[in-house]
């Protein structure tokens, strides 16, 4: 899936909500702790991690390409 940014960056928690992987931003912290999320093939446990164009985020079997 491709995700088009409308700003310089988006946080990981906001990205998960914007792509409907999670329903609310409040659930992001728990979701990130319990699931394996890769940002550019590096495990990420920070919901505030800044995601920029060109990044690839993998959540379970979903791959999100940031444009």
Half-sphere exposure of 36 (CA within 13 A, CB side): 5
- Say how many domains are in the chain: 1
- Tell me the residue range of the domain where 13 lies: 2-66
pLDDT at 62: 94
Closest CA to 35 of 13, 66, 2: 13
CATH of the domain at 19: 3.10.290.10
Residue pLDDT, tens place only, 34-54: 999 999 999 999 999 999 999
What's the pTM?
0.90
pLDDT at 57: 98
Q: What is the distance between the alpha carbons of residues 8 and 21, in angstroms, rounded to a whole number?
A: 21
pLDDT at 5: 95
Asked if residue 26 has pLDDT above 90, the reply is: no
Task: Count the Cβ atoms, other than its own, within 10 Å of residue 6.
Answer: 6
């Amino acid at each position: 899936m491709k995700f088009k940014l409308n700003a310089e960056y988006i946080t990981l928690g906001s990205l998960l909500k914007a792509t409907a992987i999670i329903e609310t931003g409040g659930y992001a912290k728990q979701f990130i702790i319990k699931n394996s999320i890769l940002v550019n093939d590096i495990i990420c446990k920070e919901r505030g991690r800044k995601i920029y164009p060109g990044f690839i985020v993998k959540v379970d079997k979903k791959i999100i390409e940031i444009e």
